[in-house]
Amino acid sequence: MEKTFDKLNAEKEDNPNIAELAADYAETYYKLTVVNINQKIADISAGASFSMVAAMIVCFVFMFIGIAGALWLGKLVNDQALGFLLFGGFCIVVLIFLFVTRKKIFFPLIKNMVIKSIYE
């Protein structure tokens, strides 16, 4: 009988405590979760930074295209002010179109981009 207890005590010493294993597992899982969250935050912030720079460049491009288009229209109608007015009217028509179709086209597009960036 005493041999059996010695054998059990030897096995207990060889095998680590299950509570210690569970604690180590929980700590490792917590650290992994923190690393994953940090990586997602880094990816999202890098994407947002790039998007802001790209949006600024696109704004300048559209501004120069707008000025060039207005000058070109002004040359066609022989009145520079009318060219700017016509091009401004065109931009307002495009803005109204975008406003009317925002729920069908743009909101789903933006939502899909955000969801895709989170789960990548």
Residue whose entry in the numeric block shows the structure tokens 């179109």: 97
CB 45 within 8 A of CB 37: no
Question: Is 69 exposed, middle or buried (CB count within 10 Å of its CB: 0-12, 13-18, 19+)?
Answer: middle
pTM: 0.57
CB 87 within 8 A of CB 70: yes
The string of pLDDT tens digits covering residues 9-58 is 555 555 567 777 888 888 999 999 988 888 888 878 888 888 899 999 99
